[in-house]
Structure formats: C-alpha cells, structure tokens
C-alpha cells in the first residue's frame, strides 16, 4: 500500500534546478582540481618529475628471474614446435602409405571445391594433392595474396590408382 507522500511528485526537482546543481558541482570539482594542481606543482617541479619518469614509475614490477625463466621456456617451447614439425615432415616423407598388411592407408577426399580428388594417409596425416593453385599470404602490393601453382604430391599417382579401382 502506497502513501500519498510516495506518489506525490510535487517535491521533485525541475530540469532547470537539476541543471543548476550539475553546473555548480562541475564548477566546484574544477576549482578543487585547480587548487590541488597549484598546491602540488611546486613539489613536482622540485622533485623534477617528468612524464617519462611518471610513466616508468607506474609500470608494474617485473621480477628479472621470472622474466629470464619465461624467456627460456619460450625458447624451449619454440624449439619443441620446430622439432615436432621436422619429425612430422620426416615421417610423411618416409611413409609408404601402407598398413602392416601391405594394404593402402590412403583414404580419398572428394569434397574440394575444384572437384579434384585428394588423399589423406591415416598413418602420417599427409594430404596428397594434385597440381593445384594456392593463394599465398597477402603483402603490401597484393592485399589478397598472390596465386601460385603447386606441383602434385609425389604420391598422387597412388590416389589416382585408388580412384581407378573404385
């Protein structure tokens, strides 16, 4: 149940009154900040605090041992990635694309937009592709990248033979 005092809006401030209050508050804040700047500026000049020193002082502390450890771990992580990439490439280059029973381990892929069949080896995860166009990384002269022709995979003949058997 509401009382007359809760529903009576006659005591609310008008927009003009609210505007005057906002302007008075803004002027008081501006005056206070100007006073603080006048108070602190001789001390700042005496201490020779420059904006560069202030920015440097506001930077978070970085433990040198922690930074060195993180750099070392990052180098090891990048080296591991490079080793894994080299090992995968070596495995793909030396794979016969056959399982233990001398059956092919290549599975056909038929859903490429150019309608050419490709193969994937389930042992080494190599994509065996035909001669195809690829688009390279963009650069300043070519924002959409440069198209270049890629020769077929060395084992693409096996994919063609599998396709002929079907």
Residue 147 and residue 134 in contact, taking contact as beta carbons nearer than 8 Å? yes
Give the largest Cα separation in the chain, rounded: 94
Chain segment 86-139, per-residue pLDDT in tens: 999 999 999 999 999 999 999 999 999 999 999 999 999 999 999 999 999 999
Q: Where are the domains of the chain?
A: 25-59, 95-165
Place of tokens 């005057």: 20
Per-residue pLDDT at 138: 95
101-105: long-range contacts, CB 8 A cutoff, minimum separation 24: 104/158, 104/162
Asked which of 37-41, 64-68, 145-149, 153-157 is least confident by mean pLDDT, the reply is 37-41
The pLDDT confidence band at residue 23, using thresholds 50, 70 and 90, is: very high
Q: In whole angstroms, how large is the CA radius of gyration of the chain?
A: 36
Number of C-beta neighbours around residue 143 at 10 A: 7
Q: Is 115 left (phi over 0), alpha (psi -120 to 50) or beta?
A: left
Per-residue pLDDT at 45: 72
pLDDT at 4 > cutoff 60: no
Chain segment 30-65, per-residue pLDDT in tens: 999 988 888 887 777 777 777 787 788 888 888 999
């Amino acid at each position: 149940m509401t009382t007359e005092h809760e529903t009576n809006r006659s005591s609310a401030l008008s927009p003009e009154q609210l505007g005057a209050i906002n302007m008075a508050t803004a002027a008081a804040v501006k005056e206070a900040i100007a006073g603080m700047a006048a108070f602190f500026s001789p001390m700042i000049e005496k201490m020779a605090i420059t904006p560069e020193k202030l920015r440097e002082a506001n930077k978070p502390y970085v433990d040198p041992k922690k930074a060195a450890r993180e750099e070392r771990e990052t180098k090891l992580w990048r080296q591991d990635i490079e080793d894994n990439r080299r090992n995968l490439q070596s495995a793909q280059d030396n794979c016969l694309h056959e399982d233990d029973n001398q059956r092919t381990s290549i599975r056909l892929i038929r859903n490429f937009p150019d309608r050419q069949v490709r193969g994937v080896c389930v042992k080494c995860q190599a994509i065996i592709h035909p001669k195809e166009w690829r688009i390279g990384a963009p650069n300043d002269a070519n924002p959409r990248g440069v198209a270049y022709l890629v020769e077929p995979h060395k084992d693409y003949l096996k994919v063609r033979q599998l396709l002929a058997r079907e």
